[in-house]
Structure 1
Amino acid sequence: MQWLTAYPIATISTLAFYLLLLSLAIPRLRAMIGPLFVHPIPPHQEYLRGFDTLRGFAASFVAIGHCYWVSNFVFGSIKTPSVIAFATKGVPMFAMLSGFLIFRSTLAIASISDLRAYAVRRFFRIYPVYLLGVVLCLLLGQYVGSQYFTGTALFVSDLFMFPVFFWPGGFANPPTWSLYVEVMFYAFLPFAVIVLGRRRMLMVAVIGVLAMILADYPSRFFVLWKYFLIGIIAAELSPRVAKNAAVLFGLGVVLLIIDLGGPRLDWVAKIGIGRLHEDGASIGLGLAFGLILLTLPHLDRISRALNILPLRLIGVISYSVYITQFVYIGINFSEINLFTQIGTVAIKPHLTNLTTMPKWYLPLVFFPGILFWGAVSFLLVEKPALRFGQRLIQRFAHLHKKVS
């Protein structure tokens, strides 16, 4: 029973998450708890069933991958790379989902008031949970200086999201690297749509992807941009593929399964298109997941199946899961002093001496605890912030009517 007591915080957190799932299976409790885990702000475009689940899969994939990378010595000896070793693929999936969904939301921007509402929604969607991550990093002593910058400078940089402006000192919470790119995309996209117009966006996105493939470079920041553009392409092509949606969706699933095998199965790079990225950021992933995105809105049965409450719940809390995952890992492993040391040679000796757990311990006992704290973050921070942002938008609209 050592697996039950070795990491008590993980055990208790996972038990709480399983109790949450159990409550959703009881009709009376589901009627009470289910409404707590819904988006407080209705979508401005048609709600796309199944997309929350895809987002939940991407965030969970990244989180369980980080658990594995940090402490695979504990979670069983896995000598050959498994699909979990390439969980970084969840980040490009997130980017494609953002490209698809945020592009659709920008199409409704027709005035300064609409642009302001868009900015307010994005701010309260992103910053409050991000700020929670900053505060938790501060409490856990993650803001430590170096020969190039002080701990205070690092904290202030994180607080104001200076890495968005290419602040060179790094950041305390490792998963936020992709969030900074996403914030740049959020800021850039509405102006691109306004200047170029919707009719030109497909052409520009295609040209952008092709150019980025030709100029491919082993920088995760640069590489991520093409996935946002693939999401835009999928959003624009989606209305045109209704008749062949099932076939294309099946093709996308098959290609995704192949791509999850990692660089050794990167068939696009092997035929000479683009670079072979060891982190799994492949063109094949963009093609596979892009096909899934553009076809899912037309597949009613599949989208309904993906939209069942336990799966949808994980999608709803996905952003909170993404931001808080390293805090959960760090609290459970006292051997980890700084999150930025994770994956380095310096931390390896501290983890190799820990007791090895069965392989099933990671997915069934350790990882689900992250989802519990993601749910807590959603209820206490993310959801109230979204509601406040919506009230602010309504107040701006009311003042605008009074002035006009």
Structure 2
Amino acid sequence: MTTKEVVPEVGGATTSYAPSGARLPSLTALRIVAATLVFIHHSAFQPLFSDEGVQKVYNKLAYNIGPISITFFFVLSGFVLTWTAKPLDTAKQFWRRRFVKIFPSHLVVYAIVLVLMLLAGRAVPWPEALVSLGLLQAWVPSNDYLLFAINPPTWSLSIELLFYLCFPLLLILVNRIRPSRLWLYAGLAAVAGLLLVPAVSWLFLPDSPSMSAVSPFSWPQLWFNYFFPVTRMFEFLGGMILAKILLTGRWPNVRPLFTVVLLVVTWAATLPLPLNLFEGGYHALFIMPIALVITAAAAADIAGRRTLFNSRGMVWLGEISYTFYLVHVAVLFSLQAAFNHQWGVGGMFLGDFTSRPFGTVAAIAFLVGAYLACVLVGWVVYALVERPAMRRWARPRGARPAGTTSAST
């Protein structure tokens, strides 16, 4: 195990920190937090509550959670991969591990959903299906390629793949930042994502067709701001820089609870704003609060403090979070379709039904049951596909396994 070092912090305080590779179970656990937020967001795509007032409140809460969850994933990926980077690792080895992590489970879930669609007699949009097979759909400036992919949530993996491709070069650049300027660059990453990207879309992209009568953004602008892989790189960079801040001992002694409260307050303060503002580029408001939550949780692990994030149950859920994410829409919408007396894959993306709403208590029970079903199916895919694939193909045959890592993405 790597020996811990004591490094002076800003303000004269000291903190015990470990070089990259130290175990950070909280970062594994935080993945299920982000995945759960995505589940809540998508659960509002069909009416669940027969009480219209309750449904309206739920929609407001759930819809605005969506942009937070995606930013959470991206910042967390940047942080974890920077923390676990090893000096002797090659780009080829890194890309191999990322490919094996992402594609086997994606292909298995894709095939299952495709078969269910065919058995249910649903039309398959083949251009969109083939593009999403290669996880390239976010590069296409057409809403059809996002909504009618075989497994729609995988659009975010298009962005992850670009980050993986660029990570070896980005790490070289981030490592060249002087430690005294890391906080400055972290702020610049957040501000650039918040101001530069929307400004470019406003100035250079057409203002039609409009997304809706109340949306200030056209579809080209929204796609550029929210779905285009290149413009989401600021979130990864924010996570990378915060990891370097912790590694160089420049993280102040901030408890995770404070950062969580800050994130919740930021979310609550933005609730009156329409969702399309966040999808139009202002999701970057959450880069720094999310990065602070992640860094504070990592610092608590290094200090040996017990928190909810590094509890055994949360870490286990974090380990299956990727497969949970892959299956959650298919499972959720299939269950909603079943209550509407339909068989097979259904839902807003893959079917044409309108979900039957429940009473308030029954709707909550349905949500809990659907979530547990997603956990179960996600665990099955993790146990039968992701974990065996990583053991078999993540490293060349005969290669000696690397040391214990802090978290996986």
Conserved 8 A contact 2:64-2:271: no
1: distance between equivalents of 2:390 and 2:252? 37
After superposition, the CA RMSD in angstroms is 3.6
1: distance between equivalents of 2:360 and 2:345? 23
Aligned to 1:18: none
Structure 1 stretches lacking a partner, 5+ long = 1-42, 270-274, 399-404
1: distance between equivalents of 2:50 and 2:349? 14
1:339 to partner: Cα distance: 6.2
1:262 to partner: Cα distance: 6.3
Q: Does 1:54 align with 2:34?
A: no
Amino acid of the residue matched to residue 310 of structure 2?
N
Amino acid of the residue matched to residue 244 of structure 1?
P
Aligned to 2:13: none
Conserved 8 A contact 1:99-1:231: yes
1:285 to partner: Cα distance: 2.0
1: distance between equivalents of 2:171 and 2:381? 33
2: distance between equivalents of 1:379 and 1:356? 36
Map 1:142-181 to 2 at 5 A: 151-163=125-137, 166=140, 170=145, 171-181=149-159
Which of 253, 265, 275 is residue 260 of structure 2 equivalent to? 253
Which of 160, 164, 169 is residue 186 of structure 1 equivalent to? 164
1:282 to partner: Cα distance: 3.3
Aligned to 1:312: 315
Aligned to 1:97: 76
- When the two structures are aligned, how many residues end up with a matched partner? 335
Aligned to 1:287: 288
Aligned to 1:329: 332
2: distance between equivalents of 1:187 and 1:363? 37
Amino acid of the residue matched to residue 157 of structure 1?
V
CA offsets per residue over residues 192-225 of structure 1, 9 Å max, x none? 334x361239576654443332223343124633
Aligned to 1:19: none
2: distance between equivalents of 1:329 and 1:365? 10
Q: CA distance change for structure 1 residues 284 and 342 in 2, over 3 Å: closer, same or farther?
A: same
What SS is found at the alignment partner of 1:288? helix
Aligned to 1:368: 372
Structure 2 stretches lacking a partner, 5+ long = 1-18, 199-221, 402-409
Conserved 8 A contact 1:255-1:284: no
CA offsets per residue over residues 30-54 of structure 1, 9 Å max, x none? xxxxxxxxxxxxx972221211111
Q: CA distance change for structure 1 residues 384 and 59 in 2, over 3 Å: closer, same or farther?
A: same
Conserved 8 A contact 1:175-1:323: yes
Q: Does 1:141 align with 2:122?
A: no
Which of 243, 268, 273 is residue 235 of structure 1 equivalent to? 243
Q: TM-score, normalised by structure 1?
A: 0.71
Aligned to 1:79: 56
2: distance between equivalents of 1:73 and 1:364? 14
2: distance between equivalents of 1:284 and 1:214? 10
Q: CA distance change for structure 1 residues 44 and 61 in 2, over 3 Å: closer, same or farther?
A: same
- More helix per residue: 1 or 2? 1
CA offsets per residue over residues 61-92 of structure 1, 9 Å max, x none? 21133123334246984332564343312111
1:341 to partner: Cα distance: 3.3
2: distance between equivalents of 1:189 and 1:75? 47
Conserved 8 A contact 1:64-1:367: no
Amino acid of the residue matched to residue 110 of structure 2?
V
CA offsets per residue over residues 282-324 of structure 1, 9 Å max, x none? 3442221111222223224555542222111110100000000
Aligned to 2:197: 216
Q: Does 1:68 align with 2:44?
A: yes
1:134 to partner: Cα distance: 1.2
1: distance between equivalents of 2:164 and 2:84? 11
What SS is found at the alignment partner of 2:137? helix
2: distance between equivalents of 1:92 and 1:377? 25
Q: CA distance change for structure 1 residues 304 and 204 in 2, over 3 Å: closer, same or farther?
A: closer
Q: TM-score, normalised by structure 2?
A: 0.70
Aligned to 1:402: none
Q: CA distance change for structure 1 residues 328 and 136 in 2, over 3 Å: closer, same or farther?
A: same
Conserved 8 A contact 1:75-1:356: yes
Conserved 8 A contact 2:113-2:151: yes
Q: CA distance change for structure 1 residues 138 and 109 in 2, over 3 Å: closer, same or farther?
A: farther
1:376 to partner: Cα distance: 0.8
Q: CA distance change for structure 1 residues 214 and 355 in 2, over 3 Å: closer, same or farther?
A: closer
2: distance between equivalents of 1:75 and 1:104? 47
